[in-house]
Amino acid sequence: MYVIPLTTAPNQTFTCTIPIDGENRRLVFALRYNSVAEYWCMTIHDPELRRTLVDSLPILTGQYPAADLLEQVRYLGLGSATIVEVGPTDPGANPDDSNLGASYQLVWGDTIA
């Protein structure tokens, strides 16, 4: 499991090398906060292929099996990603513009079979 470094900056773009299924994969992340809907969206780019892999994926909490944000794009071989509550939060709440990266972390792992 790998924790993606997130902050509450409203528009953030960064690159991470993540171990996925035994290989290191370099990905570019773009996160933005939708203040009207009050949730975060994530776009994932492959810098080597120069293409967008996932666009506007809502970053929401959930319970298994819906907790895996990447379940719907499993065919891309990006592993699995889950928002984990690590601080004081309201039950059933989602990360907002004040607690992403602190009370909620994005945890990345291998593909769940």
State the CB neighbour count (10 A cutoff) for residue 48. Answer: 9
Which residues are registered as beta bridge partners of 42? 31, 57
**If 0-12 CB within 10 Å is exposed, 13-18 middle and 19+ buried, where does residue 104 land?**
buried
Enumerate the domain spans of the chain: 2-109
3-state helix, strand, coil in the chain (%, to 5): 5, 50, 45
Q: With bands split at pLDDT 50, 70 and 90, how would you rate the model's confidence at 91?
A: confident
- Which range has highest mean pLDDT (30-39, 55-64, 104-113)? 30-39
pTM assigned to the model:
0.89
Among 92, 72, 88, which Cα is nearest to 80's? 72
Ranges of beta strands (E only) in the chain are 2-4, 11-20, 23-34, 39-46, 51-59, 80-85, 104-109
Question: pLDDT-based confidence at 31, cuts 50/70/90?
Answer: very high
| Residue pLDDT, tens place only, 41-67 | 999 999 999 999 999 999 998 877 668
Place 89 in a pLDDT band, splitting at 50, 70 and 90: confident
DSSP state of 87: S
Residue 3 has a pLDDT of: 93
